[in-house]
Amino acid sequence: MLNTEIVDFICSHYLSKGSELEPATLSESGRGFEIDIFRAGSRTRRRIGKITGGHADNVLSHENRVPEVLERLFHSPRVRKSERDLLRDTRDASLCNGGLAEGWIMRIDRYESDGKTVARTEYVMGYALYIHLERKRRRAQEREKQTIATWHARLGTVLEERNKVPDGLSGKENRHLLWNFIEDMAAKLEHCSVYKEVFEVIWNKEQPWQGRKLEYYVDFIIALAEIAAARAHFDWKEIGARYYREIGGSKRFDPYKVDFLEAAEEQIGCPLPLLGLCSGGTVTPIYFAGELSGRGGFAYPQGFLHAVTDVTVWKTEFRTGCHTMWLTENRAVLTRMSAEPDFLLNSGSLIIGLDGQLRSGHRKLIKDVLTGSKSIGQVIVWCDGDKSGLDIARNVQALLQPAHPAGVKWILPPAVDQKGDDPRSCLFRTWEAYEAAALAGLDRNQADEQEAEMGDTDIWNMWMDL
């Protein structure tokens, strides 16, 4: 007699409408079984297949012996494998017979209309494997729930401890950005019970990190907050060592170092050296051309290519006497334009290179210039015509919107333009028109880089004057 749970499992996943198992045809041998599938019509009832599998009486007692390859291949009841495919994927013929006997997989023979000739054979998930995977899933969910609770508790402790931070901690003026991010993160975690929910609310990118990397990133953020609340200065290795308190903990975040530092900087809103990271952190140069001065005696003259670190940008406020601020995605455009010192001097241009990504240092510098420079009459944004260029332009648009600069112009590389070679057609005076043109170019698979046609002083002056 077949276990009721096995019958229900077969009926739910492998029998089509109008089909049923025929109990009278059940044949058992040891833990194995065979049973026919019949289809009943209005007047006839005929055999259409046979299922071969194993009893699940002792399924839970041997679930730890389920071969990993079968777990991977038959991860869902919807998976169907031919015998040829199964042998190719497992490279072990004994797994077929062994898997059938243990109830990990089942074989379904589909008959021709005569009810005898086998038309095709397929292997599917067995009830024993189904129960095994369900138990693993429930254990994983429970582990995720407990881990999220631990995350939330540790964040709560950090937020309590932040008020005890000694007055002498470096970067204290910037730590409010970290605490604001931690408060927001803790509030979101309170309503999460599985990792998927955590990742959706904390990491809202189009292509999020998967699996352990994203789990480690949450660990990293909490570890960073904990050490920032306790230490004036700290090394990269201390972050993991202090958090995990085990051999190898200091190396746990190493495989993701660059990604984690960049993501944390973006989400918190300032470079990590300003929070106390004194070794192993990244110091990002910001390249620009044009006149720029900063509180504390910083002065960069017009007509030259300059670089300033993001740490410096965060420690002072900058302003300019220039009339036009150019924001270019690629450094090549910046170096090309700065090679024309007369253009820089005569046009009163400040050109900031974004180096393919709008980082927190770029944001701070652009905000400083717009806030502290009454001379700025227009902003010209020049990015590639591909999807990444459009994403950067969108981030710039979101940054400029609250600042309300006098005028903003957008330049699209000519390959996505359908109006001919006239460089005036590359310039758009509204964000809506620029975005529509960029999307149309992407739809036509027409996207070009800035470097493909960087123009000359005549074209640059024309764009400023339009």
The pLDDT of residue 453 is 65
**How confident is the prediction along the chain (466 residues), in pLDDT tens digits per residue?**
788 899 999 999 999 888 999 999 999 888 889 999 999 877 888 999 999 998 765 545 555 588 889 999 999 999 999 989 998 888 888 888 888 988 899 999 999 999 999 999 999 999 999 999 999 999 999 998 999 999 999 999 998 887 665 555 545 667 888 999 999 999 999 888 888 888 887 776 666 677 788 889 999 999 999 998 888 888 888 999 999 999 888 889 999 988 888 889 888 988 888 888 876 656 789 999 999 998 888 899 998 999 998 888 888 899 999 999 999 998 888 998 888 888 999 999 999 999 888 888 898 899 999 999 999 999 999 998 888 899 999 999 989 988 777 789 999 987 544 444 677 888 999 999 999 999 988 888 776 666 566 778 899 999 999 8
Which residues have C-beta within 8 Å of that of residue 432, sequence separation ≥ 6?
none
The neighbour count for residue 406, using CB atoms within 10 Å, is 11
81 DSSP 8-state letter: B
* Counts of helices then strands in the chain (DSSP H, E): 17, 18
**324-328 vs 378-382, strand pairing mode:** parallel
Asked if 410 and 450 count as a contact pair (C-beta separation under 8 A), the reply is no
Asked if 289 and 345 count as a contact pair (C-beta separation under 8 A), the reply is no
The pLDDT of residue 416 is 44
Question: Strand pairing partners for 157?
Answer: none
Per-residue tokens: 356:
């393919």
The pLDDT of residue 279 is 66
User: CA 389 to CA 434: how far, in whole Å?
Assistant: 12
The pLDDT of residue 357 is 84
Asked if 263 and 273 count as a contact pair (C-beta separation under 8 A), the reply is no
The pLDDT of residue 442 is 86
**Could you tell me which of 407, 332, 392, 335 has the C-alpha nearest to residue 362?**
392
Q: Residue 441 corresponds to which amino acid?
A: G
- With b for 16 or more beta-carbon neighbours within 10 A and e for fewer, the 334-364 pattern comes to bbbbbebeebbeebbbbbbbbbeebbbbbbb
pTM of the model: 0.65
User: CA 407 to CA 434: how far, in whole Å?
Assistant: 14
25 DSSP 8-state letter: G
**Could you tell me which of 256, 141, 264 has the C-alpha nearest to residue 197?**
141
Q: Is residue 69 packed enough to be buried (19+ CB in 10 Å), middle (13-18) or exposed (0-12)?
A: middle
User: CA 256 to CA 247: how far, in whole Å?
Assistant: 18
Asked if 172 and 231 count as a contact pair (C-beta separation under 8 A), the reply is no
Strands (DSSP E) along 81-188, which ranges?
A: 105-111, 118-125
